[in-house]
């Protein structure tokens, strides 16, 4: 799970550098088309076996949700600092905890409800609606978190009943087909630097998704969710190192509130049953 989070955080850094060069839609297209090429090369000896799925509707829904999460987060990265986007996105473990209770049969107790409420308060601290610093772009990571949480829950629903490569194939296929329709209207030939960054986006995105699917196929959603907070550390470090973006006090405070709320729920539900 931590390897997946590290890979995704490196993808985010690459996208933040790439988006001003080629735009958000071509960056998205590179992420999914690159994944499709990588997966096809790796599974070509077993293509027929890999494309068979017992859950076509779930695979389609997963693919659309992941693409939605990626699109919203890429939009956020092009408009707000990396640390702010990651801090708001970090509300997803709490959403996963709620969704696991509602859709996977896990118990929804008062501690989980409290954790969800506190995490939302943390998000509001970062966004600060009504203040002069509020940006509508801050809503993009929240939409991304909702899509990602739904994707993670469906991934857990599929579990280990299908190959990780089957899931990778369908997310790459759906993303490539949908974005290939849109990319001609936003395409400008990128320089060499743009092509290199597009390749890195595909590599980091595919690697992150591979390890993420393996993690959610092997472990309970609510148990894995807290590890997502490691992404806050990666985002803070990369933001400073690559973009000289130092998080302000409000962002740090809100991120801590969200992380502590999620960790509290995880600890109480796991070790105090």
What pLDDT digit, counting tens, does each position of 3-31 carry?
888 898 899 899 989 989 999 999 999 99
pLDDT tops 90 at residue 206 = no
Per-residue confidence (pLDDT) for residue 84, from 0 to 100: 82
d(CA 259, CA 119) in angstroms, rounded, equals: 8
| Confidence grade of residue 248 (pLDDT, cut at 50, 70, 90) | confident
Q: How far is CA 35 from the centre of its chain?
A: 15
Would residue 159 be called left, alpha or beta, if left means φ above 0 and alpha means ψ between -120 and 50 degrees?
A: left
Q: Can you read off the two tokens belonging to residue 151?
A: 């994707």
Per-residue confidence (pLDDT) for residue 220, from 0 to 100: 66
d(CA 161, CA 71) in angstroms, rounded, equals: 28
CB distance 163 to 54 below 8 Å: no
Per-residue confidence (pLDDT) for residue 223, from 0 to 100: 65
Per-residue confidence (pLDDT) for residue 273, from 0 to 100: 52
Least confident of 132-136, 188-192, 236-240: 132-136
Per-residue confidence (pLDDT) for residue 130, from 0 to 100: 55
pTM: 0.79
Bigger pLDDT: 51 or 271? 51
pLDDT tops 70 at residue 271 = no
Least confident of 128-132, 186-190, 229-233: 128-132
d(CA 52, CA 42) in angstroms, rounded, equals: 16
Q: What is the dihedral of CA 238, 187, 177, 137, to 10 degrees?
A: 50
pLDDT tops 60 at residue 123 = yes
Contacts of 137 (CB under 8 A, 6+ apart): 75, 76, 79, 80
Q: What is the mean pLDDT of residues 34-54?
A: 88
Per-residue confidence (pLDDT) for residue 225, from 0 to 100: 63
């Amino acid at each position: 799970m931590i390897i997946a989070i590290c890979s995704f955080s490196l993808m985010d850094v690459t996208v933040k550098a790439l988006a001003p060069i080629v735009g958000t839609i071509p960056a998205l297209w590179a992420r999914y088309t690159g994944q499709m090429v990588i997966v096809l090369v790796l599974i070509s000896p077993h293509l027929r076996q890999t494309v068979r799925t017992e859950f076509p509707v779930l695979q389609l829904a997963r693919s659309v949700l992941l693409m939605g999460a990626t699109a919203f987060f890429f939009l956020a990265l092009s408009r707000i600092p990396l640390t702010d986007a990651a801090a708001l996105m970090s509300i997803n473990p709490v959403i996963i905890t709620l969704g696991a209770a509602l859709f996977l049969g896990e118990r929804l107790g008062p501690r989980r409800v409290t954790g969800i409420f506190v995490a939302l308060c943390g998000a509001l601290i970062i966004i600060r609606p009504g203040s002069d610093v509020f940006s509508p772009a801050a809503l993009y990571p929240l939409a991304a978190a909702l899509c990602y949480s739904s994707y993670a829950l469906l991934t857990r629903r599929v579990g280990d009943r299908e190959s990780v490569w089957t899931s990778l194939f369908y997310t790459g296929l759906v993303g490539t087909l949908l974005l290939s329709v849109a990319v001609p209207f936003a395409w400008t030939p990128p320089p060499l630097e743009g092509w290199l960054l597009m390749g890195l986006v595909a590599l980091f995105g595919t690697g992150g998704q591979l390890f993420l699917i393996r993690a959610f196929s092997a472990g309970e959603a609510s148990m894995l969710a807290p590890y997502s907070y490691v992404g806050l550390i990666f985002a803070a470090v990369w933001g400073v190192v690559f973009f000289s973006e130092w998080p302000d006090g409000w962002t740090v405070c809100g991120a801590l509130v969200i992380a502590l709320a999620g960790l509290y729920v995880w600890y109480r539900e796991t070790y105090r049953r």
